[in-house]
Amino acid sequence: MEYSKKQDFFQMVADVMSYYKQDTSEFMLNVFWDACKDLEFEAVSKAFNAHAKDPDKGQFAPKVADIVRLLQGTKTDRSMVAWGKVYDAMCSVGAYTDVCFDEAAINAAVNDCGGWVKMCRTSMENLSYLQHQFCKSYSAYAGRSDYEYPKVLIGETASAALFAKRGLKAPEPRMIGNEQAAKNVYQGGFTAIERGPRSIGALLAGVTNNVG
């Protein structure tokens, strides 16, 4: 959600906690914000309502995990949704374009699977293995908050890395999924040029470059 929605979000959380006769603290508000800031405001609001209507869990004030679970599902569910997003981009965007997804865990998992080009060039007979490998890697990253990931998944032309190496302004990568969330991911990741020529060569060759 947009940063301008932060105060509205805080008020919503305070209203929810008031319904449960619970006090709010700055720490609680910030924890909720950190967990939900990449989600849509309306979606989070609906999740709070859904929690309140739950015959069992709705008797108790919601925790961050309750809202995240409603919006994102279990790790298995999330990994399959993430794979669907990646597969759609493989088919619609293709290997020639630099991309950045709206989840850091997706960028990290694609990197672990050999990079964007290698994934896009995977044969149909090896697709199920690639899916398994991606989902396993994604699930590992989704449960962590202290890992590195590439801000750009380099396409066939390796435009971002080569332009940066020459001191030129790189063309913008294609943002996949929620555009604002993808931009946030882009801002927080590392670039190939920061990892030196060997890293650039590995990405160009489609060789797995593990992070974390």
> pLDDT per residue over 154-172, tens digit each?
888 655 556 667 777 767 7
Amino acid found at 117: V
Query: 21: alpha, beta or left, given left = phi > 0 and alpha = psi -120 to 50?
Result: left
Torsion (CA) 17, 18, 20, 23 in degrees, nearest 10? 60
What pLDDT is attached to residue 21? 95
Is 90 exceeded by the pLDDT of residue 14?
yes
> Can you tell me the distance from the alpha carbon of 89 to that of 103, in angstroms, rounded to the nearest whole number?
14
Residues 87 and 170: their CA atoms lie apart, in Å, by: 25
Give the percent of the chain with pLDDT over 70: 83
pLDDT interval class at 35 (50, 70, 90)? confident
Average pLDDT taken over every residue of the chain: 83
Per-residue model confidence (pLDDT) at position 9 = 95
According to DSSP H, which parts of 37-158 are helical? Answer: 41-53, 64-72, 75-92, 104-112, 116-120, 127-142
For the whole prediction, is pTM greater than 0.75?
Answer: no
